[in-house]
Structure 1
């Protein structure tokens, strides 16, 4: 499930599985469908 949070006067969409933030809800939902709930792959 994607949650919303307010930071720097903007709404961000957060993946509940890994905590990654997105500025577009569609992108967050797409990410969450494939999220394995480990560290984001860009950190590997």
Structure 2
């Protein structure tokens, strides 16, 4: 599920599975469809 979050710099959309944040809802939805709910791969 994508969660909408308000920040000082605007609205962000967070993947509940891994916590990765996006500035576009559609980007977050596309990510979530492929998310394995582990740490984001860019951290590894």
Gaps of 5+ in 1: none
> Match for residue 23 of structure 1?
23
Q: Calculate the TM-score normalised by the size of structure 2.
A: 0.93
Q: CA RMSD in A?
A: 0.7
TM-score after normalising by structure 1: 0.93
Q: Provide Cα deviations, 1:1-44, integer angstroms capped at 9, x if missing partner.
A: 10100011401000010111000000000000000000000111
Q: How many residues align?
A: 44
Q: What secondary structure is seen at the aligned counterpart in 2 of 1:3?
A: strand
Which residue in 1 is equivalent to 2:6? 6
